[in-house]
Structure 1
Amino acid sequence: MRSAKVLFKDHLAGTLSETLTGGTRFAYERGWTEDIACCYPVTRNEYDWPSGLHPFFQHLGPEGWLREQQARGAHVDGQDDLGLLLRYGSDCIGAVSVFPPEGTELPAAAAETTTNPGRTVSGIQKKLLVVRGRDGFVPAGATGPAPYIAKFNSESLPTLVRNEALSLRWTGVVLGAREVNEFQSAPVADEYALIVTRFDRGPKGEKLRLEDCAQILAKPRGQDYGGKYDAAYEDVAMIIKSHSSRPVIDLQRFFHRLVAFALVGNCDAHLKNFSLLETPMGLRLSPAYDVLNTVIYDGFDQTLALSIRGKQINLGAADGELFRGFGRDIGLSDRVIDGTLQQLKRQVAKAVVVIKPPAAEGPDDFVTRYAEIVSNQCLRILGE
């Protein structure tokens, strides 16, 4: 049975072990007094999970391209969540890191020039941790700070970087600049990338606690990575009520953000796209990240990622009345709901310039189609 050391902000917090029944057990170190996760309160010393790796740790690992690269480089089965963390878990998103026990000998890894040796980042899109060098951004090595994440296009979706940059810029105007992830666009090696600043790291590189809602709800990843869709937006609201240090404010921010996601055509706002972040005031709703206009891609499912008001809703049926009802369901007053929608109307008008198509673009070009989608969404949901 394998085991691992679990560190929280680089201090030994506990041990993660495989069990004889095929599950895993996390046990806090004697005398440890701080929760490392919402699902692991220190009111108990040990936590068992019946099958495989506990979802909190599962969701620290990557999906898609980076997972394939890491599994190949470390000679680990792609479905071996613990094996991948033992190799790459020394620097994960958030404050938790995973190390093999002292004296453990891991198989020799292949040369890892692009896959961040010893580090990992969650999510399905092709991405890497990067640092700013003298000549631009380069992949982060095994040690030292890694304050940025580079996100790349894929062969099937060559406009991903352009899409997310435009979506973050528009959302930043609509919600406020502090409500979205800081970003810029730049090359990494020979590829153009969206460079986002990690908000789970402090100004001196210190690790901050960050948990996405799939981790908080302990949703198993699933063979098809479908666990992050197995919930409702009401579950995210419940998490905020239970764990945010400012639940009333963060519920309003969440409602504001969810409507803005519908306006921008983002159907992929799943559990991993909402997180709680450590602040001096306690855990708070993190800035928005992974914002995309998914409607622009032919064949992409236009059903909202999570259910709402007990139903799976197609984006075309998501209107103002749906969101008003949702707002009341999660405890917002009509005054707050009306004020939020009125503020969105004002800010959407200011954000028009962000998605104004270039003069040389034709009716079928990217920004023109993007702007048409957003305009139609705003008309249906806000009456604007």
Structure 2
Amino acid sequence: MDNIRVLNAYINQWPVGALKDTNGVWSFEYAQSWVREGFPLSPALPLQTEILIDGSTYRQVQNFFDNLLPEETARRLMAADAGIDVADRFGLIEYYGAESAGAITLLSGDEAPIQNCELQLLDLDMLSARIKQLPKAALTKGAPKRMSLAGAQHKLAICFESETSVLNEPIGETASTHILKPDHNDTVNYPHSVMNEWFVMKLAGLAGLGVPSVHYLHVPEAVYLIERFDRSLENGVLIRNHILDGCQMLMLPPGSKYRDCTVENLIKLGSMCNEPAVTRKKLFNWLVFNFLTGNGGAHLKNLSFFAVADGYILAPHYDLLNTSCYGTSNQWMREKMVTALDDVGIYQEVTLKTLLDVATQMKVGAAKNIEKDLRAMCQKVMKGAESLYKELDDVNEEQSDLMKLTPGEFRQLRSIIYGPIKEACEIGG
């Protein structure tokens, strides 16, 4: 007798299709109405009336939906909270599918999405208590809504009022507005990750990269909040927008996020978008910014793309932080980069010519113009980092406890600015 499990997929109350697990083989069938008026969920799931069925070696359906789940420790904790085997991917999606990365809502049986707006206040003491339980329990433990957010870090989908710093948790089908992340739980080896990420994200905006609005609070534990760019307000209603990460775009499993983050694949991603030349330039700038800020952990799941009726558009950047400061003291230039630049895989071997050669490979413009842009970005990053630090320092004594930085956080920022950032920016002369 066949063992069959079925989940219905929706985007903003619209039925998209049915996800099915039959004896361990996954398949997806688009709803007829979605075939007529919708768009493909990914390049791996073309819009068609025929059922898409995984093969024995190539599992395009499972890979796509598996990318919606968190990774590593976060997945294990969520599986434990749900009482589900961590290897049961379909079971995890079934349990947590009401709120995932992007727009897709996955519901079982006769359930149907309801357009509502119910919120539950998240008291700061309660949030602090949940953070103290990490990594023994998931950050979502005790939340009124089951949710699945891709990535390796502990996260919580939240509704945040930036003017009042009020945090609410969404209930039922209510969409979240922000993603909240606490400091890395290994504070000895990865201290002050919240302020690190907030600072580098703000710096990215100053350097000209497209980034969402970001915030930080101390509850008293530090938490980082990033506005969800996969949400938009239309006629007073919060709409979910469908996005794909780099692995989903390239039809890769999440485990390939580091290995396959190559210049060649970035070029391929650019060619898949509506404005290939513009997108390649943005991806090149992302590569350069990661080098200048010592972000050695950037990978394919750190890139997202909006799926629209006529193609794909690169989304704002996220998960930008300095990882080099967590390596051996003063040895960051000897570390390997995730994405080799013109076959150069170690920071200290990268030169201005290296970056110019990558620009040529990615076809982002004339060498003379690119060199000028690179030197300008080096100046923007270094001056922006010093200016942003001064701004924080000047107002810190006047800040409330929610916003006041600790001496340790300031010390961490100085080590980032006058270590990896300063050394890398010297490449621009």
TM range, smaller chain: 0.7 to 0.9
2:420 paired with 1:373: yes
Q: What CA distance in whole angstroms lies between the structure 2 residues aligned with 1:4 and 1:196? A: 29
Residue in 2 aligned with 1:117? 145
2:16 paired with 1:7: no
Question: Letter of the aligned partner of 2:148 in structure 1?
Answer: T
Uncovered stretches (5+) of structure 2, i.e. residues with no partner: 112-137, 395-405
The match for 2:43 among 22, 27, 38 is 38
Q: What CA distance in whole angstroms lies between the structure 1 residues aligned with 2:55 and 2:177? A: 35
Question: Letter of the aligned partner of 1:171 in structure 2?
Answer: A
Residue in 2 aligned with 1:354? 388
Residue in 1 aligned with 2:338? 305
Offset of residue 101 of structure 1: 2.9
**Bigger helix share:** 2
2:390 paired with 1:343: no
The match for 2:305 among 276, 282, 301 is 276
Question: Letter of the aligned partner of 2:420 in structure 1?
Answer: I
1:212-236 CA distances to partner (integer Å, 9 max, x unpaired)? 1011112223xxxx32112113202
Uncovered stretches (5+) of structure 1, i.e. residues with no partner: 104-109
Kept in 2: contact 1:8–1:36 (CA 8 A): no
2:108 paired with 1:100: yes
Residue in 1 aligned with 2:216? 185
Q: What CA distance in whole angstroms lies between the structure 2 residues aligned with 1:318 and 1:7? A: 46
Q: What CA distance in whole angstroms lies between the structure 1 residues aligned with 2:407 and 2:426? A: 23
The match for 1:194 among 224, 227, 231 is 224
2:199 paired with 1:166: yes
Offset of residue 304 of structure 1: 1.9
**2:363 match: secondary structure:** coil
2:91 paired with 1:60: no
2:335 paired with 1:295: no
Residue in 2 aligned with 1:107? none
Which residues in structure 2 correspond to 1:232-251 (within 5 Å)?
Answer: 232-242=262-272, 244-251=273-280
Cα gap change, 1:112/1:245 in structure 2, threshold over 3 Å: closer, same or farther?
Answer: closer
Flag as ranges the 4+ runs of structure 1 deviating above 6 A: 359-362
Question: Letter of the aligned partner of 2:347 in structure 1?
Answer: L
Q: Say which is worse superposed, 319-328 or 292-301, in terms of deviation.
A: 292-301
2:118 paired with 1:84: no
Cα gap change, 1:50/1:303 in structure 2, threshold over 3 Å: closer, same or farther?
Answer: farther
Q: What CA distance in whole angstroms lies between the structure 2 residues aligned with 1:91 and 1:336? A: 44
Cα gap change, 1:82/1:280 in structure 2, threshold over 3 Å: closer, same or farther?
Answer: closer
Offset of residue 62 of structure 1: 1.0
Kept in 1: contact 2:382–2:421 (CA 8 A): no
Offset of residue 112 of structure 1: 6.3
Offset of residue 141 of structure 1: 3.2
1:74-127 CA distances to partner (integer Å, 9 max, x unpaired)? 211112211111011122121222222338xxxxxx996545623221111111
2:351 paired with 1:323: no
Offset of residue 38 of structure 1: 2.7
Question: Letter of the aligned partner of 2:26 in structure 1?
Answer: T
Q: What CA distance in whole angstroms lies between the structure 2 residues aligned with 1:154 and 1:116? A: 24
Q: What CA distance in whole angstroms lies between the structure 1 residues aligned with 2:48 and 2:146? A: 31
**1:170 match: secondary structure:** helix
**1:202 match: secondary structure:** strand
Offset of residue 168 of structure 1: 0.9
- How many residues of Structure 1 are paired with residues of Structure 2 in the alignment? 366
Q: What CA distance in whole angstroms lies between the structure 1 residues aligned with 2:139 and 2:279? A: 44
2:167 paired with 1:129: no
Offset of residue 143 of structure 1: 3.4
Kept in 2: contact 1:153–1:161 (CA 8 A): yes
Question: Letter of the aligned partner of 1:201 in structure 2?
Answer: R
Q: What CA distance in whole angstroms lies between the structure 2 residues aligned with 1:62 and 1:366? A: 28
Kept in 2: contact 1:69–1:115 (CA 8 A): no
Kept in 2: contact 1:171–1:260 (CA 8 A): yes
Question: Letter of the aligned partner of 2:350 in structure 1?
Answer: A
Residue in 2 aligned with 1:106? none
Offset of residue 162 of structure 1: 0.9
Offset of residue 358 of structure 1: 5.6
Offset of residue 206 of structure 1: 0.4
Q: What CA distance in whole angstroms lies between the structure 1 residues aligned with 2:197 and 2:147? A: 24
Q: What CA distance in whole angstroms lies between the structure 2 residues aligned with 1:220 and 1:130? A: 27
C-alpha root-mean-square deviation of aligned residues, in Å?
3.1
**1:76 match: secondary structure:** coil
TM-score normalised per structure 1: 0.85
Q: What CA distance in whole angstroms lies between the structure 2 residues aligned with 1:341 and 1:19? A: 52
Kept in 2: contact 1:59–1:215 (CA 8 A): yes
Residue in 2 aligned with 1:285? 314
